[in-house]
Structures are given as structure tokens and as C-alpha cells.
């Protein structure tokens, strides 16, 4: 039984990127940073939002919105196929410094992808 996955009508963006070209540059940099620091094999699909349960508490992380745990804006959500783990990236966790918030596939209930 696979996890539900949905494609959102949302077009790809990166918060604070002034245009699509800059969004691509920033997203590539975030992917590179996480691939190198975490040794991740990142899935190329672009994730808009994930919802799940962590330690008994429901959560949602959506690109462009504050993440419930720390109230920092989610910049990107990546999936490490080698670890079966989602990386929820904010400026201080997985974008500029630090490790992203990690959530295993066992915690995630829904995944929404950006429009292709």
C-alpha cells in the first residue's frame, strides 16, 4: 500500500525569490546543500506540502508558510529516497545552515507536489 500523493495546482516558487529564474537558482542551491551535508539522494519531484503526525502531534509543512514547530517560513521540502525521509527546510534549518527538520515516510500521511 503506497502513500497518497497529490499534485497541487500551485506553480513552483521559492519564498522571497523575485522571479522564476532566481527561484530555480535558490532551489538548486538548497538541494546541493542538503545533498552534500546529508549525503542525500534527493527525489527530483518538487514538493509543495506534507502533512503527518510526529510524536503524536499532527503537523503540516507548506512552502511559503510558517512551519508550526518554529514559526519559520518553509523554503523547500525535499525527499531523500535513500533514507525514505522528508527534509523540511527553513532558513535556519537546511537552507543557510543547520540540518533540516526530518520526517520519515512512516510519519507522513499526505504529500502535495507542485504543478508539473
Query: What pLDDT score was predicted for residue 83?
Result: 93
Please tell me what DSSP assigns to residue 94. Answer: B
Per-residue pLDDT of 68-91, as tens digits, reads 767 899 999 999 999 999 999 999
DSSP H helices, the chain, are 20-38
> Range of 39's domain?
5-113
Query: What pLDDT score was predicted for residue 24?
Result: 97
Q: State the total domains in the chain.
A: 1
Kindly state the average pLDDT of the residues 31-56: 95
3-class DSSP assignment, residue 62:
strand
Maximum pairwise Cα distance, the chain: 40
Going through 12-80 in order, the beta strands assigned E by DSSP cover 47-54, 57-62, 74-80
Query: What pLDDT score was predicted for residue 102?
Result: 95
Amino acid at each position: 500500500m503506497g502513500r497518497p500523493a497529490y499534485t497541487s495546482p500551485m506553480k513552483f516558487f521559492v519564498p522571497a525569490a523575485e522571479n522564476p529564474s532566481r527561484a530555480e537558482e535558490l532551489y538548486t542551491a538548497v538541494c546541493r546543500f542538503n545533498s552534500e551535508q546529508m549525503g542525500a539522494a534527493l527525489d527530483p519531484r518538487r514538493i509543495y506540502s506534507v502533512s503527518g503526525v510526529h510524536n503524536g502531534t499532527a503537523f503540516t509543512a507548506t512552502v511559503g508558510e510558517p512551519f508550526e514547530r518554529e514559526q519559520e517560513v518553509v523554503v523547500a521540502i525535499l525527499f531523500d529516497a535513500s533514507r525514505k525521509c522528508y527534509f523540511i527546510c527553513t532558513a535556519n534549518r537546511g537552507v543557510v545552515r543547520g540540518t533540516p527538520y526530518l520526517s520519515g515516510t512512516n510519519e507522513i500521511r499526505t504529500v502535495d507536489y507542485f504543478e508539473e
